[in-house]
Amino acid sequence: MGTLFEVNEVDRLFYEQKLQPFLPERIIDIHTHVWLEEFVAPSDPALVRAVTWPGRVASSNSIEDLMETYRLMLPGKQVTPLMFSQVSRSTNLELGNRYVSECAAARKLPALMVTKPEQSAAAFEADIERGGFLGCKVYLNYAAPYIPEKEIRIYDFLPPHQLEVLNKRGWMAMLHIPRDGRLKDPVNLAQMLEIEQLYPQLKLIIAHVGRAYCEEDVGDALDILAKTRTMVFDFSANTNANVFRQLIQAVGPKRILFGSDLPIVRMRMKRIYEQGRYINVVPRGLYGDVSGDRNMRETEGPEAEQLSYFLYEQIEAFRLAAEAEGLSRQDIEDVFYGNAAALIGRVKEVAR
């Protein structure tokens, strides 16, 4: 077996000098995708309602690959993933969920079930329970196909009848919010606040800081969200230190969780921002033809040779934000471990 991906001198130095001393010994990664290639059918481009670049980094991520990724990227750290299947219209979710459930049981790891909005309350509850899941991971791709992507609202793929079950059971929901306005979108914000109010026992995780990858995506959202009490935010696949600083100021370090979004953060890249849009700058040719993807750009020569992993860029951005906001050692341990451990513990407590 060859190595999963290359670890070079640039990567080793980045880790040893910046990340290794910053990261606690124990880490919980609250956002990971695990699936096998055979679960995914070749996708119909007409049905793809999300960006295309993630598919170029990894076509599968077995549990063995995930654990090997931690060994290669975060050597010396004890990482516990919370896992769920790949999410796409072309993924066979029955197989994906079964695989995640089996991996979770075999390795005693926490996991979420990827669910669809059309599932009845009874089926939703029974399936989560039977699979030993702690809740659900939902995705805008599973909203009814007649709804134009720009019009999808949270309730279209995390409907009230399922929220009621999650609330009753004290379960968790991992939510990637929809809409072009991202975090600042008023429809998103209204529904996020309503969910927190109506379903107080639900453990709601807003993925990727609500997709606020650029400062332009924040607007006044964090002023509004500062008044919330229980929803938490993961900063997976986000490298924006200024957004992280605003998040820390708004909700404090107890409601921020580390998540990676592996395997996409294996990507070798650096993220830049232009007119409110993020662009992943990658080594020329490494991820095939990216000319049709407006979130991708290629570089070469010395600039390309300095590029390291998306995961490292993400953690480094958080390190800079933590330093600027004066987070303590304890705060940093909470973000990378304690907050997630407590959240998972509270789900299990209700289930008992």
3-state helix, strand, coil in the chain (%, to 5): 45, 15, 35
Nearest to 311 by CA among 276, 271, 351: 271
Q: Is the CB of 22 or the CB of 278 nearer to Zn ion?
A: 278
Write down the residue that tokens 């089926």 correspond to. 123
- Residue 83 identity: M
Spatial contact of 230 and 204, defined as CB atoms under 8 Å apart = yes
- Could you tell me the smallest distance in angstroms from the CB atom of residue 72 to Zn ion? 20
**Nearest to Zn ion of 88, 188 (CB atom):** 88
Nearest residue to Zn ion, by Cβ distance, number only: 261
- Residue 267: strand, helix, or coil: coil
- What lies within 8 Å, CB to CB, of 311 at 6+ separation is 73, 260, 262, 265, 266
Q: How far is the CB of 96 from Zn ion (least distance, A)?
A: 13
Spatial distance between the Cα atoms of 213 and 235, rounded to a whole number of angstroms: 9
> Quick one: 261 or 333, whose CB is closer to Zn ion?
261
Nearer to Zn ion, 261 or 313 (CB): 261
Residue 31 Cβ vs Zn ion, minimum distance, rounded to whole Å = 6
CB 136, min distance to Zn ion, A: 13
> Minimum Å distance from CB 306 to Zn ion?
27
Instruction: Decide if 298 contacts 281 (C-beta within 8 A).
Output: yes
Minimum distance of Zn ion from residue 244's CB (angstroms): 18
Q: Is 194 left (phi over 0), alpha (psi -120 to 50) or beta?
A: alpha
Residue with Cβ nearer Zn ion (185 or 261): 261
User: What residue spans of the chain are helical by DSSP H?
Assistant: 9-14, 63-73, 93-107, 121-130, 160-169, 186-198, 208-211, 221-225, 241-251, 302-305, 310-324, 329-333, 339-351
- Residues forming contacts to Zn ion in the complex (CB under 5 A) are 261
Beta carbon of residue 264, minimum distance to Zn ion (angstroms, whole number): 8
**Phi, psi dihedral angles at 298 (to 5 degrees):** -105, 155
Distance CA 35, CA 79 (A): 19
Which residue's CB is nearer to Zn ion, number 217 or number 261?
261
Contact 155, 175 (CB under 8 A): no
Q: Min. distance of Cβ 137 from Zn ion in angstroms?
A: 8
CB 192 within 8 A of CB 177: yes
Please identify, using beta-carbon distances, which residue of 153 and 211 lies nearer to Zn ion: 211
> Which residue's CB is nearer to Zn ion, number 261 or number 334?
261
